[in-house]
Amino acid sequence: MSVTKRPKKSRYLIPIFGGMLLTFKILLKNLFSRKKMLTLNYPEEHYKYGPRFKGNHILTVKKDGSLRCTACMLCATNCPANCIRITADEHADPNVEKYPISYEIDILRCVFCGYCEEACPVDAIRMGPEWQTAALNGSNFVYDIKHLAHRENLKGGVQSVVDDKERHKAGI
Amino acid sequence: MKKMIKCTINNYPVEVEEGTTIIQAFKKLEQEIAHYCWHPGLSIAGVCRLCMVEIEGNNKLQIACNTVVQDGMVITNQSQKVKDTVRWGLEFHLINHPLDCPICDQAGECVLQEQYMKFGAYQPLMSEDKVKKRKVVDLGSKIVLDTERCILCARCTRFTDEISKTKELGIFNRGDRSEIGIFKNKPLENDYALNTVDICPVGALTSKKFRFQQRVWYLKKAPSVCTGCSTGCNIDVYYNEEGLWRIRPRHNSSINQYWMCDKGRETFKHVNPSGRLKSSFRHTAEQTEKMTTFQALQTLKLDSKKIGLVLTGSYTCEEYDAFLDFFQLHSIYHWKNNPKNFEDYDNFLIRGDKNPNTKGLLESINKRQLKLEDCTQLEQNISHLDLLIVCAPENHKLYPCLEEKINLFLKSKELVWISPHSHTLLQKPINTVWTIPSKTYFEKTGTFINHHGTRQKIKAVASIVDSARSLEEIIHILKTGQTDLTQIASIRDKMKTNYFMEQKGSL
């Protein structure tokens, strides 16, 4: 821990003028070259985060458009915030066997740690680039399958790297 | 008495009976040993070759399950030679095993998974493709088979051959195409079929009812006694915050060994919060009044009334004692689930008496030299009674005569129905009906006496319905008029906090 001594009372005007100098320097700089300005006009302009940014979750889909998730519950088990809730059921296709009939993420409880993404054995859940999670109603923050996999800005869903048919062909 | 012989296992000296196999000696010492095909309740097959041990003076490794301990044997399974053999044995088992643990229902309690994490966890050396076999094979109304996951330990076929003696399962085909299966038009439908799911060391056999319901690592388990019939099988109840999920047998060599019947496995649903009676009610022809159990017992005036008492065998001995001591009646009516096949027995576990504690009821009544009358006598006497108290069965499904008997009870001037569940017939009565919620076996501490007269203690695991009271607590309220039951040490010790929630908190 570092301890700083307070400046003596008689000298407090000097730092104030120093601060004002800095403020005016930046003000004048921004006034004359607006392109180099650091702040954003937020609702109109957006900051672009890197590709590894961990934002809102995406459930990936297979080539036929069905969910990749096998409802193994490893993400829910690994989740430190306990915000994932899955109900599994029997799938008609014996090669798929198990699939989620409901998959809910309480995004207000989520801490965006990315453990779900890491626990997933089949690349079924990813953390996407979205980060604006405004909603009018509290219940809108519980994301269901429709939102997680098929929301509009995903444009038909994100395809999973591992696909069932390829997996079976490879003999795994 | 058998001769005791000495041997040394992993440097620990141990004394065992003559004729004991090495694996039993390992279990006695609580030393870890890998095994799939060996099960203490079944015959020895010796097919998995994983329980290898090194015996001093013996060049080759031996399987522990089929080698008898001899005097002065020095046995180990900690040597590098044994570990290598187990590792290679495991590699062979995993040649065609899909390792689909994430989808598999057995994950978390799978012996193969445990062994793989311990000895395996390597890149397989097999270059050939895995043999594809049938998945999700329907074996009947209870069980689903996955032949890919099966490691052919033959525990299930030995079970149907030796224990249930129905012989439905068999191993078909040869080599890497061999698989477990059933014969044509002969589904696995016997009364003990679900035991094969328990003994399956991998996820090849799964119960249709429990399949995909819960991951096993979310469940806690608690020991209890099955209330499905008077055999009193020892069980483990698996539960979490949302309720009870399944029942599995617990070993008891004098009662159920390692097994239990399929009907007993379904005796947990009535304990779950949905469908339970959540508070006391006073139903009359005109209205229904909701009240707490305490209020109901306070407004219920018992003085100078002619009381009739109907008891069933689903309460604990302590509850009967408290009840009979309080009411001081000369005759009690005994409500049997089905008088015709009450004495039935299938020569293994299932009995026709569907109550856990009929013996306890008879004992409490004989101790006080009371008269036990059948429900048929109640039909004649019911018009003379002012108040009829019915300690109804815990699990209504086991009583086929339920509606008929309720109609009989409703003829009384005033009826007190003590049970974890209500019934639609009770809600629109002609006279007054009180319904008071009582506790189930999961929530109370007490003693059950099974058909053979064995006393078995059960312990309260958690409280599920807060307003439910055991008969002991009801008597205590009637006696003292005290709401706070935590004041009494004997009752406080048996009370548990509510662990269950009906809905997960959400927005």
Residue pLDDT, tens place only, A139-162 = 889 999 999 999 888 888 888 887
pTM of the model: 0.88
Q: Return the pLDDT at B321.
A: 92
Residues in A closer than 8 angstroms to B215, CB to CB, are 73, 77
3.40.50.2300, 3.30.465.10, 3.10.20.740, 3.30.750.24: CATH of B4-93: 3.10.20.740
Asked if A106 lies within 8 A of B506 by C-beta distance, the reply is yes
B123 touches chain A (CB under 8 A): no
Asked if B135 lies within 8 A of A95 by C-beta distance, the reply is yes
By CA distance, what is A106's nearest residue in B? B506
- In the numeric block, the tokens 């009929």 are attached to B358
- Is domain B111-271 classified as CATH 3.30.70.20? yes
Residues 217-236, chain B, touching A (beta carbon < 8 A): 217-218
Contact (Cβ atoms closer than 8 angstroms) between residue B311 and residue B373: no
Report ipTM for this prediction: 0.81
Mutate which of B94, B95, B99, B103 to disrupt the A interface (most A C-beta within 10 Å)?
B103
Kindly report, as residue ranges, where domains of CATH 3.10.20.740 are found in chain B: 4-93
Query: Which neighbouring-strand residues pair with B389?
Result: B309, B416
Residues in A closer than 8 angstroms to B501, CB to CB, are none
Asked if B135 lies within 8 A of A122 by C-beta distance, the reply is no
**Between these two residues, B228 and A1, which has the higher pLDDT value?**
B228
The rounded distance, in Å, linking the Cα atoms of A119 and B193 is 35
The rounded distance, in Å, linking the Cα atoms of B264 and B352 is 12
pLDDT category of residue A168 using cuts at 50, 70 and 90: low
B131 touches chain A (CB under 8 A): no
Which helix (H) or strand (E) is B481 found in, with range?
none
Under CATH, what is the fold of the domain B280-492? Rossmann fold (3.40.50)
The rounded distance, in Å, linking the Cα atoms of B349 and B341 is 15
**Between these two residues, B143 and A65, which has the higher pLDDT value?**
B143
**Residue among B103, B136, B507 minimizing CB distance to A142:** B507
Asked if B507 lies within 8 A of A90 by C-beta distance, the reply is no
Contact (Cβ atoms closer than 8 angstroms) between residue B325 and residue B386: no
Contact (Cβ atoms closer than 8 angstroms) between residue B258 and residue B194: no
Which helix (H) or strand (E) is B143 found in, with range?
strand B143-145
B481 CB contacts (<8 Å, ≥6 apart)?
A: B298
**Between these two residues, A17 and B383, which has the higher pLDDT value?**
A17
Residues 448-507, chain B, touching A (beta carbon < 8 A): 504, 506-507
Asked if B507 lies within 8 A of A141 by C-beta distance, the reply is yes
Residues in B closer than 8 angstroms to A103, CB to CB, are none
Asked if A72 lies within 8 A of B103 by C-beta distance, the reply is yes
Q: What architecture does CATH give domain A57-169?
A: 2-Layer Sandwich (3.30)
Provide the number of CB pairs (under 8 Å) joining chain A to chain B: 44
Kindly report, as residue ranges, where domains of CATH 3.40.50.740 are found in chain B: 280-492
Q: State CA A80 to chain mean position distance.
A: 16
**Residue among B130, B136, B504 minimizing CB distance to A85:** B504
Residues in chain A: 172
Structure tokens at B415: 């009826």
Asked if B217 lies within 8 A of A77 by C-beta distance, the reply is yes
Asked if B507 lies within 8 A of A108 by C-beta distance, the reply is yes
Q: Return the pLDDT at A8.
A: 67
- Cα B357-B260-B139 angle, rounded to 5 deg: 140
The rounded distance, in Å, linking the Cα atoms of A69 and A122 is 7
Residues in B closer than 8 angstroms to A141, CB to CB, are 507
The rounded distance, in Å, linking the Cα atoms of A90 and B333 is 48
**Residue among B130, B213, B217 minimizing CB distance to A171:** B130
Contact (Cβ atoms closer than 8 angstroms) between residue B496 and residue B462: yes
Asked if B507 lies within 8 A of A73 by C-beta distance, the reply is no
Percentage of residues in chain B having pLDDT higher than 70: 95
Residues in A closer than 8 angstroms to B507, CB to CB, are 106, 108, 138-139, 141-142
Q: Return the pLDDT at B507.
A: 43
A140 CB contacts (<8 Å, ≥6 apart)?
A: none
Domain ranges of chain A: 8-39, 57-169
B215 touches chain A (CB under 8 A): yes
**Residue among A94, A95, A171 minimizing CB distance to B129:** A171
By CA distance, what is B218's nearest residue in A? A77
Phi/psi for B137 (5° steps) reads: -90, 130
Separation in Å, CA of A148 to nearest CA in chain B = 18
**Residue among B135, B136, B215 minimizing CB distance to A73:** B215
* Under-70 pLDDT residues of chain B: 121, 485-495, 497, 501-507
**Residue among B130, B134, B136 minimizing CB distance to A97:** B136
Residues in A lying within 8 Å of B, measured between beta carbons: 70-74, 77, 85, 88-90, 94-95, 97-98, 106, 108, 121-122, 138-139, 141-142, 171-172
Query: How do beta strands B73-76 and B4-9 pair?
Result: parallel
Whether residue A122 is predicted with pLDDT greater than 90 in this model: the reply is no
- Cα B203-A169-A97 angle, rounded to 5 deg: 35
Closest CA to B86 of B58, B60, B61: B61
Asked if A106 lies within 8 A of B507 by C-beta distance, the reply is yes
Q: Return the pLDDT at A169.
A: 65
What number of other Cβ atoms are within 10 A of residue A46's Cβ?
11
Separation in Å, CA of A139 to nearest CA in chain B = 5
Asked if A106 lies within 8 A of B215 by C-beta distance, the reply is no
The torsion angle over the Cα atoms of residues B48, B49, B53 and B55, rounded to 10 degrees, is 130
